[in-house]
Amino acid sequence: MATVTFDKATRVYPGSEKPAVDGLDIEVEDGEFLVLVGPSGCGKSTSLRMLAGLEDVNRGAIRIGSRDVTHLPPKDRDIAMVFQNYALYPHMSVADNMGFALKIAGVPKSEIRQKVEEAAKILDLTEYLGRKPKALSGGQRQRVAMGRAIVREPQVFLMDEPLSNLDAKLRVSTRTQIASLQRRLGITTVYVTHDQVEAMTMGDRVVVLKDGLLQQIDSPRNMYDRPANLFVAGFIGSPAMNLVEVPITDGGVKFGNSVVPVSREALTAAADRGDTTVTVGVRPEHFDVVELNGSAAKSLSKEDSDAKAGLAVQVNVVEELGADGYVYGSARVGGTDKDLVVRVGGRDVPEKGAELHIVPRPGETHVFSTSTGERLSD
C-alpha cells in the first residue's frame, strides 16, 4: 500500500501550447479511493496515464509512497490498471487471462494458480475459470479485468471508466461491488469517470477537473454542500443546482418578492470586486413551496404564506418519480425568464400549467461571485 502524490504535474502534448493537465496537485492517502471526475476532455485520462507512466510529465513530479516515479517506466511503478475496454485475450481462458501478467513476470505456476483462485473467489468467478471471455457476460468480463489487476497485488489500482461499457443497471451494481472490494483490499485507488453520480457514490474523496485544472478536491458530502465555484456547483448534483444572477440589496439578495438573507462577508466580497449582482445557487430540494395556485400550501399558516409570497414559478413539465417529483418551471427573476427545477413530495405534485410560489430555504443557499465564479458564502 502507498500514498500517491501529484506534485504540480503538468502534461503538454506535442504540438499544443495549452497543457492538457496543468499543475495538478493531489495527495492521495494510503488506502484511499480517489475519483477524478469532469467533462470529456478535461484531462482525467491524461492524469491517470501520467501516474501509470504511459504519458510524459513535462513539469512537476509524481510520487508513489516516497518513490519519485516521474521518469520510471510503467512496469517499475507497481501499479495495475483497468481500462474501459477490458482487452481480455479472446483465445485464453479466464484463469489464463487473470494470471497472464504473473506468467510474464516468471512467477511459478503453482503460485499463479493459487493467486488466481483467490481472486476468483473474491470476484465470484470460480466457476468460470475455464471459460473463454466470449462465453461471459459484460459484467463477468469486467470482473475478469479486475481480477487481472488484483492478482498482481499492486501498490496502486488505476481505473479509467471501467464501467462505461456496461448497461445502466449493471453499472449500478458493479460500482457497489468495486467500491466494497476496494475497501476490503485497502489498495490505494485512483478511479476516473465522467459520471458525477459514480464519483459521488464511490469515492472517499472526489477531484473535479475542468480544462486541465483542479477545481475542487473534497469528500462527496462537502463537494455537494459547499461547491467551491460555479462550475462545481453546476456539475455535481442531478438535477443540477439552480443558479440565478440576482441584484444585491440591503442585507441580502432579491429573489422575486423576497429578500434572501446572505452573509455580510459574501456581500462585502462581491462589492469589493465591484459587482452589483451575485449568483445565487439553490438545489432543487432546497425550495419551500409556500403557495400553489393562489392558495397557501397546506404546511403553512396564512400569515406564513403572506410573509413569504416568494417567487412565482410557472410549471412547464412535471417528472414524477414516485417518492418525489421534479417540477421544471420558469420564473421571472431580475427582469428575465429563468428556468428552475424544484423538488416536491411525491404526493404533492402540481399540474402542468399551475403556478407555484417558492422560497429558498434559509441556510441552504450558495452565493457565488458572478464575475469570477468563486464561492463567496461559507
Ligand X SMILES: Nc1ncnc2c1ncn2[C@@H]1O[C@H](COP(=O)(O)OP(=O)(O)O)[C@@H](O)[C@H]1O
**Does the protein bind Mg ion through residue 279 (CB under 5 A)?**
no
**Does the protein bind Mg ion through residue 215 (CB under 5 A)?**
no
Shortest reach from residue 36's CB to ligand X, in Å: 8
**Does the protein bind ligand X through residue 216 (CB under 6 A)?**
no
**Does the protein bind Mg ion through residue 97 (CB under 5 A)?**
no
**Does the protein bind Mg ion through residue 47 (CB under 5 A)?**
no
Compute the CA torsion angle 55, 58, 60, 62 (nearest 10 deg): 20
How many CA atoms lie less than 13 Å away from 30 in the CB half-sphere?
4
**Does the protein bind ligand X through residue 191 (CB under 6 A)?**
no
Shortest reach from residue 188's CB to ligand X, in Å: 20
Tell me the CA distances in angstroms from 57 to 124, 214, 241, 291, 295, one per residue in order: 38, 17, 36, 57, 63
Among residue numbers 2 through 21, which ones bind ligand X (CB under 6 A)?
A: 13, 16, 20
Shortest reach from residue 78's CB to ligand X, in Å: 23
Query: 160, 142, 136, 144: which is closest to 99 by C-alpha?
Result: 144
The answer to whether residues 314 and 331 touch, using CB atoms and an 8 Å cutoff, is yes
The answer to whether residues 345 and 325 touch, using CB atoms and an 8 Å cutoff, is yes
**Does the protein bind ligand X through residue 83 (CB under 6 A)?**
no
125 — phi, psi (to 5°)?
-120, 5
Nearer to Mg ion, 55 or 218 (CB): 55
**Does the protein bind ligand X through residue 154 (CB under 6 A)?**
no
Shortest reach from residue 86's CB to Mg ion, in Å: 16
How many CA atoms lie less than 13 Å away from 229 in the CB half-sphere?
13
Q: Which of 6, 36, 45, 216 binds Mg ion (CB under 5 A)?
A: 45
User: Which does residue 311 bind out of ligand X, Mg ion, none, counting CB within 5 to 8 angstroms by kind?
Assistant: none
Measured CA to CA, the distance from residue 106 to residue 81 in angstroms comes to 20
Q: How many residues bind Mg ion (CB under 5 A)?
A: 1
What's the chain's Rg over C-alpha atoms? 25
Binding site for ligand X (CB under 6 A): 13, 16, 20, 38, 40-46
**What are the residues binding Mg ion (CB under 5 A)?**
45
